[in-house]
Each structure stands twice: as C-alpha cells, then as structure tokens.
Structure 1
Amino acid sequence: MFDFAQWVVLSAGWPRRLAAALAGAVGALALAPVDVMPAMLVPMVAAVWLIDGAARRETGLGRVLGWRSCMAAAVVGWWWGFGYFLAGLWWLGAAFLVEPDRYLWALPFGVVAVPAGLALFPAFGFGVARLLWSSGPGRLFALTAGLGTSEWLRSWLFTGFPWNAYGMAFGGTLTLAQGASAFGLEGLTLLTILLCAAPATLADPVGSRLRRLAPTVLAAVAMLVLLGFGAHRLDRGPTRDVPNVRLRLMQPDTPEDGSFSYANKDKILAGYLALSNRATGPDPDGLKTVTHLIWPESPFPFILSRDPDALGTIAAAMPDSTVLVTGAARAERDAEINPGQPGRTHYFNAIQVVGPGGTVLDSYDKVHLVPFGEYLPFDALLRAVGLTNFVHVPGGFDAGTRRRLLDVPGLPPVAPQICYEAIFPGAVLPEGPEAGKAGVMLNVTNDGWFGTTAGPYQHLAQARLRAVEEGLPLIRAANTGVSAIVDPYGRITASLPLDTVGVLDGTLPQRIAPTLFARHWGTLQPALYLAAFGFALLSAIRRRG
C-alpha cells in the first residue's frame, strides 16, 4: 500500500491525470443501482494522496498562501471529478437517442460536457483543501471541508444539481441512510468524505504507527455507531397506516416517441383508464376499492384542464369514491390574469387533483425546472444555434411561484414534487409553518427519457432519502418506473420494477414525529461545516506555526 501511495503522490503528467479519473470513476460503483458502498473508499483515499502530491515550490507570498500548490490540486481535482461524474451520469446520453433526428448531434454535450462542467466543483474543492492542507491526520478534515463546500455549492449554484452527491454512498444503504434523519444528505456527504478518506493515513511515510492507524480505527468506530443507530431506528417495525386510504399507482410505460401525440390522445387516455381499472384480485372491478388513483408526470399530449371531453371520460370511468391525482401540463393566458392584455400563453408542469364529475379541485405548478429539459437557459442565444428543450412546449415551461401543499380529499396534506424536485434536500416542503402540516410527499416523474439505465434507480434512491430526512412517507408514480410507496424510514413497502406496465396497490404509511433534520437543519448545517473547517485550520496552523 505504501509503494502504491507513493506512486500516486509522485506521479505526474498523463499517468497522474488518468489515475485521478479512474479513482473518481470507481466511486460511481457506490451509487445506485450497484450500491457497493466500500467503492467510495477508492476515490476518497486517492484524493488525499493526489493532494499530497500537489505540493509545488513557492516563492514570495506564495509561500504563505500556496497558490501554485492550490492550482495543481485543482487541476488534478478536475480529472478526479470528471471520472466520477462521467461514470455516474453516462446515462444522460440516453435522452439524446429518444429523438435522434433532432438531438443526436448534441450527444457529446450530454455525455462529456456535463461531467466536464460538474468537475469544476471538485476542482474547487481540491484547491480549498490544499489551502488548508497539513501533513498529518488533520488533512482529512481539510479534504472534508473543501469537497463538502464544493458539494454545497453544486446543490444551489446555477439552480443547483445535487445529483449523486458523495453522501449517496451511505444514502443508498438503508441502515446507513438513517443518519439522514439527523444530518441530511449534506451531513452524510461530510461523513462519507471523512470516514472513507481515513485509510489514506495508513500509508503515511512519517509518524508513529499509532498516528497512522488511529484515523482508520476511529472511522471504523464511527461507522459502527452509524450502523447501530440505523439498525435501532429500523427495528421499530412497520408504521401504522393512514385509515381509509387505498392507493393505486398507474405505471403505463408510455414510450417517448412519435406515438405520444395529440392525434393519439383518445387511444392514450383509453389505455390509461383500462390499465387503471385492471383487476389485481378476485374483484373484476379494479377501482372499486381504490380511494386514490395516482398517474405519473405529464402523461397527456394535451392540456387536461382545457379538455372537457377528456375530463368527462375520466369521470365516467371512475367511481365517485375515487380521486385522481395526476401529472398534467397546465396552460394560463395573460388575459386570464389581466383582462384586456392578450400577451402570451404560459405553460406549467403541474400536478392536478380531479374529483367527481371531472372537476379539477387543486393544482400545483413545478417550481424547480430542469435546465435544457423544460426550459433553455440563455434561450434566444441557444435557439439561434439550433438547440431546443427536450419537452415540446412553445417557449418552454414557466416555473411555479412557490412550493405549497396540495389539498387532496381523503389524504393528509400532500407535499408535491415533480420529477427532480425530489433530489433537493431541505427544499421539498413549503417554507414556514406550512411545512409542519405535511403528512405525505408525492413525487410524480417521467424517467422514460433514460430507458433502463442507472438514471431511474439513482432518482428513486434520492427521493427515498427525502422520506428519511423529513420523517414523511413517499408516494412515487413514475411513467416507466420505479413506482413505489415508501415509509418514513425509507423502507419500500410496495414497488413496480423499471420498464414494466402495471398498477401498484398499497396503503399509505403514517408520518412519524419530525426528525432532527426537519427541526434543526438550519442550525446543524453551518455547525457541521464550521467543525470541518475548524479542525482543518487548527491542523494547518500547527503545521505552519
């Protein structure tokens, strides 16, 4: 191990860059659907050795600040991050193959340019870590502070994209994921970096054997504590169900091709209704005992709320005791808001509640839109070069004004999340006192753009972690899967596999008491980052003192 560590530390040029990229790529094995958590040891241990090897001869002010060393660390950090994101997000390319005549030319952007751009964040993290670097175990906190900060920035900068945060290595394992009830995904990310990097000190060329061994032993103890906490939390048995609620999730596996068009609207709707009424037991009337029917994101090639025939067809097919909750595009003209001002028509990606008689009872508009999927950043410029958003809506979708609870008769107050809104920790509930009223989270999505790749599994894993963080059950209806009902501990109580046509029946678990994360994350978050920076700074000061 010592010889290999020294090779990594002393490597240069392309061998060094390739080693960094390969180490980062191995970390993707810790993510869904593979979920081999120990694989995250490889990139984190390698990160320590790579930053060790970033030391450069400094002169003048550089001797104090170490600018050249920081830049060398940032460069190798970019290669490390590029390997990680390329291996973890390669499946983005599948979306460009759905309509190859329109998007095939942009395939390199999805597969290579996106990971290359995201790699700038760990590059920044490596540079910050090197600024705080020391020669002993304290450098583990420098790495935690640097990479942790870069992940925090990735979660909100440029609208944010916290997909495949390092903490998902723990979050994908249900027992370890229970730590999210206290510290959330960001806390798990800090723990993942710190604990998985600890074995790097075993190869330190100086220091006593105890000093080299102690970080790994302490990391192992911390892991056992985290596992014990998770096992204790999961040992409480199943939660009680919300009374008088019988859910049915419809998973149509509708292809994203030319058949999904307005010309086929009647056929599509008839197929949904027939599937929704499928018998799953001795009673031939499948909807007879269903109180709430859930359809996935944007299943219609038309505006449901503006189509009385479609609403009438739905009403005629469903018992009066069944409420439909469905994804649907929603349209609103400027003239409807300000009479006398024709303006343009605004489109929203929405969840709508349809009651007896086909009446739309409530609606939620998606707040956090997907760049390039639902809208184009720098719209005029990118359209001028021939780029359009994937969803065929004139001008793209508009964002909703705020997160709000959805009122669904017979259900506790619903916290709605459309598509990747479910991947943002701490941002899945309304702000203020309304958040405490939520009794269930509802995530409707269409992962059909990504086929049977790793993408839909990663999406499910991240949505499931929101249930653990908030102590709320989750209903997840996905066009192509994986559709699931998740209890507030993250346990999947019922599910339909990916790329499967079917319906999923189940009960709704009750929420549990608000978690530590739900009650105090605003205080805990800065405390964890301050602790990481504090220990790193103390070690750096001791080194330079």
Structure 2
Amino acid sequence: MERLAGRVMLLSGMPRVALAFIAGAVGAFALPPFGFFAALFVSFTLLVWLIDGSTGNPAGGVSSRLRSAFFIGWLFGFGYFVASLWWLGNALLVEADDFAWALPLAVLGVPAVLALFYGLAAALARILWSDGIGRIAALAAAFGVAEWLRGFVLTGFPWNAVGYGAMPTPLMMQSAVVIGIFGVSVLAVFVFSAPALLGTGKGKVAGLGLAALLLMAHFSYGAWRLHGADAALEAAAGERKTVRLVQPLIDQAQKLDNTNRAEIFEEHLRLSALPPEGEGKRPDIIVWPETSVPFILTENPDALARIADVLQDGQVLIAGAVRSENAGAGMAPRFYNSIYVIDSDGQIISAADKVHLVPFGEYVPYENLLKSMGVTDAIAMPGGFTAAPTRSLLTLPGGALFYPLVCYEAIFPNEISQDVERAAALLNVTNDGWFGATPGPHQHFQQARLRAVETGLFLIRGANTGISAVVDPFGRVVNGLSYNQKGVIDATIGGGISGNWAGETKQRNFWLLVLAMSVIAAISRVSFKTRKN
C-alpha cells in the first residue's frame, strides 16, 4: 500500500489529472441503481493520496498548495458528477430540435459547477492537512460543509450527496434519523478515506479503529431500529388508509403533444377505476403524478365531472396539475405547478403549489438578462411557472394533512419545515419521464425515500414513469412499481413514528460532527508542525 500511495502522490501532468477524474467517477457506482457503496473506499483513498501530493509551486507558498488541492478536488468532483448526472442531458433530447444545443451544458456544465464545491472542500481540508488521522478528519469536515452549502447556494442542488452512497438499503439509512444526510456525509467521508492511512501517515491504528467503530455503529443502529420497526408501526397512532398510486407511463413527447390530452386524461381515469386485487380493500385515496392533468382543470368543469363519475363515495383523488391565476388587468396569467385534492363530488377541496422551482426547467433565473442571450425555459408553459411564497399542507376529508413535495423538492431536507410534525404522511408527486431509462429516476427515488426515514412518516410517491411506491417510516418499500411499468398499486399507510423529525437537532448534530472533526484535524496539524520544527 505504501508503494501504491507513493506512486499516486508523485503523479504529475495528465496522469494526475486523469486519476483524479477517474477516482471521482468510480464513486458514482455507490449510487443507485448500482448501490455498490464500497466503490467510495477506492474514490476517497485515492483522493487523500492525491491531495497529499498537492504541494503546488514551492515558491508559491500556502496559496499555491491551496490552488493545487482545489484543482484536484474539482477534478474529483467533476468525475463524480459527470458519471452520476450525465442523464440530465436526456431531458433536452425530448425536444431535441429546440434544446439539443444545450446538451454540453447539462452533461458537462452542471457537473463543472457542482465540482466547485468539492474543490472548495479539498482546499479547506488542505489548510489543516497533516500526515495522519487529522487529514482524514479535515477532509470529512470540509466535505460535510460543502454538501451543506450545495443545499442552498445557487438555488441549491444537493443531489447525490456523498452520504447517499453510504445508505443503499434501509439497514444503512437509519443513521439519518440522528444526524441527517449531511451528518452521514461527514462520517461517510471519514470512513471511506480511512484506508489511505494504510499507505501513508501516522495514526493508522487510531484512524482505522475509529472508522471501523463508526461503520459498526452505522450497521448496528440500523439493525436495532429495524428490529423494532414493525412493533413501532403497529403502535403508531393514526387512522389506516388505503392509497392507490397510478403510474400511467405516458411518454414525455406525448405529454407535450396537445392532441393527446383527452386520451391521457382518460387513461388516468381508467387505471384509477381498476378493481383491487384479490380481496383487497377499495382505495380511500388515489394519487396521480406531477402535471398528470393535461389541461387547466379549473377551466374544464367537464373534467371535474368525469372525475366525480369515476370516484366512488368517500374516495379522494390527489392529482398533479397546472394551476392558473389571474395576475390582473392587462397582465399575463401566472402558472403554478400544483397538487389538487378532489372529492367524490368533483369538488377541489385543497391545493398546494410548488415552492422550489427547477432553474431553467420551470423558470429562468435572471430572466431578462438570460433571455436577451437566447436562453429560454425547457417547458411549454408560456412564461414558465411561478413559485409559491410558502408551502401549504394538503387537507383531506376528516382533517388529515399531507406534506406536499413536488418533483425534486424531495431532495432538500433542510427545506422541510416544522409543519411536517402536523402531517400524516409525505406526498411526493413527480414526472421523471424526462430522464428516460437512466440512473436519474433511481437516484431521485432513493433521496425521496430517505425523507421518510428522517421525518418518521410514510412517503406516498406517485411518478408518471416510475418509480412509484409507498415507503414506510423506516425506508422500507411497502408496495411499488418499478421504472417503465404501467399499472396501479394499493398500499395501506398508518401513523408516523414520533420523535423522528427534530430537524434542528439533526442540524445541531451535524455541526457538532463538523466541529469534532475540525478539532481532531487542528490537533493533528499542530502536532505535525511541532514534529517538523
């Protein structure tokens, strides 16, 4: 290992650049649909050795070393995000005549920007770099901060945080209850980087021992929670409801073709009316995916009447739809990406609008400037969507509340407010048909699934092309439909697990982990400097 580490540290030029990129790309195998979490041991071990060799120009001093480390971190991040986010380009091919020109921006530009955060992490870690366990701790703290920053800087895009690679199964998801995804990312980087100590540096026993203890705690806590999961769910308060998820598998090109609207609507109704399998209970709630209603529902009373015809007494339909709102005399209407709750009389009894819109997909940031440069929305809705100022909970008959998350809103753990404590379940409606049969829908599902674990609530997830599923508060799939499968599934949901939410506690624990790792790094750095002098 020492010989290998030495060879990696001494690399220069293009071999060094290539290895940094490849090291990041290998880490993508830890993410869905692969879930091979051991790949991150290879990625971060190589990253540590590459940063070890980031000496920069000897005449350039500290700033040169930081720039060298930043470049290595950026290359690592660029490889990681290109390998795990290349599927973003698929959305542009749906309307290739208009948007194929932007393919390099999606496949390479977005990863290049996201890689800046990993470059920053490497540079921050280099400040406290030493020759032992301290540099592993420094890297863990810095990556934790970088992942946290990705949650809100430039509108936020915390997709594929490192911690997700450490949580491919429910057994490995339970740690998020205590420290959240960003806290898991801190500890994951420490554990995945620990093998680097076999090749270089002091503190092999302490570093590898601590990493082993953390890994054992990760698995043991998961096993302990899952052992009592069924009893906890049985004891949870809350009325049991049967939910039907409709996965219509409508091709995205068809959804954009106005001539198919009536057929699309009728297909949703047909699937909704299918009888339960075997002796199954009639569904109380039927869920359609994001923008499943192919027209402005409030302007089409006949459509509401058709919904009333299909729903049986007491049933409720929850459907993704576009909502329009008059902005005033002489002004264009506003459009919202919304969710409606419709009762068996065809009445809209509750609604919620999307709060966090997708940049360049649902709106154009810095619109006037960018549109003058020819950049337009990648959607058909004139003027794009308007973001809701606040999140509204959906109210069902009887007073039960659902916490709505439209599309990629489910990837933002820090945007789930304390109102979630009043909710009976999380509701995520999405349309991942834009991304085709790529890793994208699988990654999206895993991240939404973790919100169920973090909040202690059932997750009801309806997707046009998949993955649709009901997930329990422990991250286990109760019932679901795989990607690219048409049909319906019925599942029963109950009450949530009390005490899981405490979002502020997770944030506090995350920062305590960052502080603890920083202290270890600082002590090691001082000791390292003392030995050198």
Give the TM-score category using the shorter length.
Answer: over 0.9
Q: Which residue of 1 aligns with 2:261?
A: 265
**In the alignment, is residue 398 of structure 1 matched against residue 398 of structure 2?**
no
- One-letter identity of the residue aligned with 1:168: Y
Q: Which residue of 1 aligns with 2:206?
A: 214
**In the alignment, is residue 313 of structure 1 matched against residue 306 of structure 2?**
yes
**In the alignment, is residue 276 of structure 1 matched against residue 272 of structure 2?**
yes
- One-letter identity of the residue aligned with 2:198: L
Pairing of 1:393-542 with structure 2 (within 5 A): 393-410=381-398, 412-428=400-416, 430-431=417-418, 434-515=419-500, 517-518=502-503, 520-542=505-527
Distance 1:203 1:517, change over 3 A: farther
**In the alignment, is residue 303 of structure 1 matched against residue 296 of structure 2?**
yes
SS in 1 for 2:394: coil
Of the three residues 168, 187, 194, the one matched with 2:190 is 194
Q: Which residue of 2 aligns with 1:170?
A: 166
Task: Give the number of equivalent residue pairs.
Answer: 526
Moved more, 403-412 or 516-525: 516-525
Cα deviation digits, residues 500-523 of structure 1 (max 9, x gap): 110011101320112275461242
Task: Output the CA distance in 1 between the equivalents of 2:302 and 2:392.
Answer: 29
TM superposition shift of 1:171:
2.2
SS in 2 for 1:37: coil
Q: Which residue of 1 aligns with 2:3?
A: 3
Cα deviation digits, residues 149-184 of structure 1 (max 9, x gap): 111111110110000000001122321210001000
Percent of aligned positions that are identical: 42
**In the alignment, is residue 351 of structure 1 matched against residue 339 of structure 2?**
yes
* Superposition misfits of 4+ residues, deviation over 4 angstroms: none
TM superposition shift of 1:258:
4.4
Distance 1:115 1:9, change over 3 A: same
**In the alignment, is residue 230 of structure 1 matched against residue 215 of structure 2?**
no
Task: Output the CA distance in 2 between the equivalents of 1:533 and 1:367.
Answer: 35
Distance 1:182 1:103, change over 3 A: same
Cα deviation digits, residues 432-484 of structure 1 (max 9, x gap): xx332122100000000011110000000000111111111100000000100
Q: Which residue of 2 aligns with 1:323?
A: 316
- Alignment RMSD, CA only? 1.8
Task: Output the CA distance in 2 between the equivalents of 1:391 and 1:223.
Answer: 44
SS in 1 for 2:387: coil
Pairing of 1:83-232 with structure 2 (within 5 A): 83-204=79-200, 207=202, 211-232=203-224
Q: Which residue of 2 aligns with 1:293?
A: 286
Pairing of 1:370-381 with structure 2 (within 5 A): 370-381=358-369
**In the alignment, is residue 72 of structure 1 matched against residue 61 of structure 2?**
no
TM superposition shift of 1:356:
2.7
Asked if the contact 1:37/1:173 (under 8 Å) is kept, the reply is no
Asked if the contact 1:333/1:342 (under 8 Å) is kept, the reply is no
**In the alignment, is residue 23 of structure 1 matched against residue 23 of structure 2?**
yes
Q: Which residue of 2 aligns with 1:338?
A: none
Task: Output the CA distance in 1 between the equivalents of 2:377 and 2:342.
Answer: 29
SS in 1 for 2:38: helix
Asked if the contact 2:254/2:260 (under 8 Å) is kept, the reply is no
Task: Output the CA distance in 2 between the equivalents of 1:281 and 1:471.
Answer: 29
Asked if the contact 1:184/1:517 (under 8 Å) is kept, the reply is no
Segments of 5+ residues of structure 2 without an aligned counterpart are: none
Cα deviation digits, residues 331-365 of structure 1 (max 9, x gap): 11123xxxxx4422111001111113211111111
TM superposition shift of 1:73:
0.5
TM-score by length of 1: 0.93
Asked if the contact 1:414/1:442 (under 8 Å) is kept, the reply is yes
Task: Output the CA distance in 2 between the equivalents of 1:10 and 1:410.
Answer: 68
Cα deviation digits, residues 70-114 of structure 1 (max 9, x gap): 000001111111100010101111111111111112111111111
TM superposition shift of 1:67:
1.1
Segments of 5+ residues of structure 1 without an aligned counterpart are: 336-340
Task: Output the CA distance in 2 between the equivalents of 1:224 and 1:282.
Answer: 43
TM-score by length of 2: 0.95
SS in 2 for 1:321: coil
Task: Output the CA distance in 1 between the equivalents of 2:294 and 2:180.
Answer: 37
Asked if the contact 1:261/1:301 (under 8 Å) is kept, the reply is no
**In the alignment, is residue 334 of structure 1 matched against residue 327 of structure 2?**
yes
- One-letter identity of the residue aligned with 2:493: L
Cα deviation digits, residues 301-339 of structure 1 (max 9, x gap): 21112211111111112112110001111111123xxxx
**In the alignment, is residue 365 of structure 1 matched against residue 365 of structure 2?**
no
Q: Which residue of 2 aligns with 1:388?
A: 376
SS in 2 for 1:109: helix
